């Protein structure tokens, strides 16, 4: 469809939300019927001989128990593989029919699927789509009166926003880092901006608000490309298993989350002033895996997590955020996917991926609103354990049988992130998704860093003597003693990995080591107390936390100095 036709359609239609939402033929006129269906066809990635496309179909007619969408290409495009639909092609004619699991299509409901194709010459978007023989309207994502002005609309998102781009340096974090002895060595590194309560949007406690950060990002950008990293972190009943990072919203306050938190963030990000920025959002860390690992009859179950699973507000909140923020053409949503020491076990891995998809298709969101996933956010899991592998056998036992690995499928974060990416694609996420890994505190350098494998007297001496990760237990997460800065932020570091990032700003506390009254809703978690002897989630080990820590998010000088001292690669 031509850009001119798109503009005409947009001018005569009201879009009630961008992705996968119906055009109304005459929103102001009573008695005018809505168009029977709309199709949002977006080319996500394109290269000299091929492309990937994402399609969202919205049904505005009677509910359907099955569906079939057809279109024809004007060129020589060929569909080579697809997901979430059974796609066939005869000549230039293409048919996409439902799978068994997405056959039901209620009135007003949407379904999304994607595919990879080949072409030569031009790759024009099809002019006409029919749903069960009825012609639909179509929006090709081109910039028109209803689209936020930007770099051509969602279809023009780049495959990897970090490629060829600088990344925003938060001047507030940079000043804290530079004020520490030796901190100037890393004060110019990019870190995430945490929107961890509603007040953070406009600025709280004398800190910069979202617009102030975006304005500074425009200044840093200059004439090149620049990524801004935002942490979307304010779900109702937030962090149901960790009191230190509980939030301001109660378990049932999903309405406030939508209208007081996500909607204002979207309004700012959609301001045309910021259309030239590449805005990466990491959506609601430490939330969805809790619904798998800390609920039901498991020994690690937490009553508050059962509440959040029952009310569905983690899934609804993440879905709403993905849907609304995904409407902004220059926003790239990355969903938090835990870390290997949390969901790397067989009974957690696939189940967590399923929950991620449930959230990515809730509240109007589709899998195409997800650009990728992030692992190890604010955690300490080693990036790559070089001294042992999951397939090693020592003294008649596999590494999986060691106390440290404890039957996990993964021994480090890189292998986990790459495997999780494959799992997510296999259940219907687009094949172009990329992963981020937070390396802000997983370097584990310094004098305690092993230089080779441990003794082969037993599988435990072999693993414990060789592992870089020096935590007492991989379930320990709060202000860990002995940790160091990890790999510096960089783009395209490994297959399937969009970037290593410092999403958690090094030196900002995970939680207070004793109860400290505050107005941010943050409780005292014993896992931040260095005298705590543990719980089922860390197999009743000591917490390994540093003493004298402030509440989460506040500057923790002693931790930052330790992180620099133990950095790996070392600081020069």
> What SS3 state is found at 421?
helix
- CA dist 282 and 233 (Å) reads 8
* Angle 100-71-6 from CA coordinates, rounded to 5°: 115
Burial 245-261 (b: 16+ CB within 10 A, else e): bbbbbebebbeebbeeb
Structure token digits, residue 55: 């399609």
Which helix or strand (DSSP H or E) is residue 463 part of? Answer: helix 459-466
Q: Which residue of the set 327, 510, 525, 529 is catalytic? A: 510
Tokens read off for 529: 């107390």
Closest to 524 in 3D by CA, of 478, 567, 463: 478
Residue 434: which residues within 8 A CB-CB, separation 6 or more?
Answer: 159, 160, 371, 372, 421, 496, 497, 498
**Cα separation, 457 vs 73, whole angstroms:** 65
Active-site option among 196, 239, 286, 438 = 286
The 10 Å Cβ neighbour count of residue 296 is: 12
* Alpha carbon distance 226, 162 (integer Å): 8
Pairing type for strands 78-83 and 110-118 reads antiparallel
How far is the C-alpha of 469 from the C-alpha of 566, rounded, in Å?
Answer: 12
Buried b vs exposed e over 303-328: b needs ≥16 C-beta within 10 Å? ebbbebbeebbbbbbbbbbbbbbbbb
Residue 332 dihedral angles phi and psi, to the nearest 5°: -120, 110
Query: Which two structure tokens, joined as six digits, stand for 37?
Result: 């269906």
For residue 424, which of 364, 370, 381 has the smallest C-alpha distance? 370
Answer yes or no: 286 catalytic.
yes
Q: What is the DSSP string of 285-302?
A: TTSTTHHHHSSTTSTT--
**Could you give the CA distance from residue 473 to residue 398 in angstroms, rounded to a whole number?**
19
Q: Which of 359, 388, 393, 376 is nearest to 477 (CA)?
A: 376
> What are the residue numbers of the active site?
286, 510
């Amino acid at each position: 469809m031509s850009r001119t036709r798109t503009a005409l359609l947009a001018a005569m239609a009201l879009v009630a939300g961008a992705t996968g939402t119906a055009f109304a033929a005459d929103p102001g006129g009573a008695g005018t019927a809505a168009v029977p269906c709309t199709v949002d066809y977006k080319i996500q990635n394109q290269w000299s001989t091929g492309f990937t496309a994402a399609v969202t179909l919205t049904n505005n007619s009677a509910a359907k128990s099955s569906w079939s969408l057809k279109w024809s290409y004007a060129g020589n495009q060929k569909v080579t593989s697809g997901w979430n639909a059974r796609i066939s092609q005869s000549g230039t004619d293409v048919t996409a029919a439902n799978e068994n699991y997405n056959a039901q299509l209620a009135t007003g409901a949407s379904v999304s699927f994607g595919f990879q194709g080949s072409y030569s010459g031009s790759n024009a978007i099809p002019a006409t789509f029919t749903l069960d023989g009825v012609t639909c309207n179509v929006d090709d994502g081109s910039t028109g009166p209803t689209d936020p002005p930007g770099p051509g609309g969602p279809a023009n998102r780049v495959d990897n926003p970090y490629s060829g781009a600088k990344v925003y340096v938060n001047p507030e974090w940079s000043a804290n880092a530079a004020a520490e002895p030796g901190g100037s060595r890393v004060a110019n590194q990019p870190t995430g901006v945490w929107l961890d309560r509603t007040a953070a949007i406009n600025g709280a406690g004398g800190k910069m608000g979202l617009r102030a950060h975006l304005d500074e990002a425009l200044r840093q950008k200059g004439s090149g490309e620049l990524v801004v990293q935002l942490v979307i972190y304010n779900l109702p009943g937030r962090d149901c298993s960790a009191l230190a990072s509980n939030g301001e919203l109660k378990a049932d306050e999903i309405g406030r989350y939508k209208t007081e938190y996500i909607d204002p963030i979207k309004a700012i990000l959609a301001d045309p002033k910021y259309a030239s920025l590449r805005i990466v959002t990491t959506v609601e860390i430490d939330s969805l895996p809790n619904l798998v690992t800390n609920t039901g009859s498991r020994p690690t179950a937490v009553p508050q997590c059962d509440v959040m699973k029952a009310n569905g507000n983690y899934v609804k909140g993440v879905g709403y955020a993905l849907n609304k923020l995904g409407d902004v053409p220059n926003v790239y949503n990355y969903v938090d996917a835990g870390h290997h020491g949390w969901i790397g076990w067989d009974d957690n891995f696939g189940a967590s991926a399923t929950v991620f998809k449930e959230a990515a298709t809730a509240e109007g969101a589709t899998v195409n609103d997800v650009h990728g996933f992030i692992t190890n956010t604010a955690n300490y899991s080693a990036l790559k354990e070089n001294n042992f592998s999951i397939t090693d056998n020592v003294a008649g036992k596999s590494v999986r049988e060691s106390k440290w690995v404890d039957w996990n499928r993964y021994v480090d974060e890189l292998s986990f992130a790459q495997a999780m990416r494959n799992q997510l694609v296999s259940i219907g996420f687009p094949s172009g998704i990329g992963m981020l890994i937070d390396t802000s505190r997983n370097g584990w350098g310094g004098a305690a860093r092993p230089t080779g494998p441990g003794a082969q007297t037993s599988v435990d001496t072999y693993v414990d003597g060789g592992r870089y990760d020096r935590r007492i237990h991989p379930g320990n997460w709060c202000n860990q003693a002995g940790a160091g800065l990890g790999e510096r932020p960089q783009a395209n570091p490994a297959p399937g990995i969009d970037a290593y990032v410092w999403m958690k700003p090094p030196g900002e506390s995970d939680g207070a080591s004793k109860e400290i009254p505050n107005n941010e809703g943050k409780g005292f978690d014993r896992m931040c107390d260095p005298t705590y002897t543990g719980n089922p989630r860390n197999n009743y080990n000591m917490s390994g936390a540093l003493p004298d820590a402030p509440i989460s998010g506040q500057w923790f000088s002693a931790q930052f100095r330790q992180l620099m001292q133990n950095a790996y690669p070392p600081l020069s």
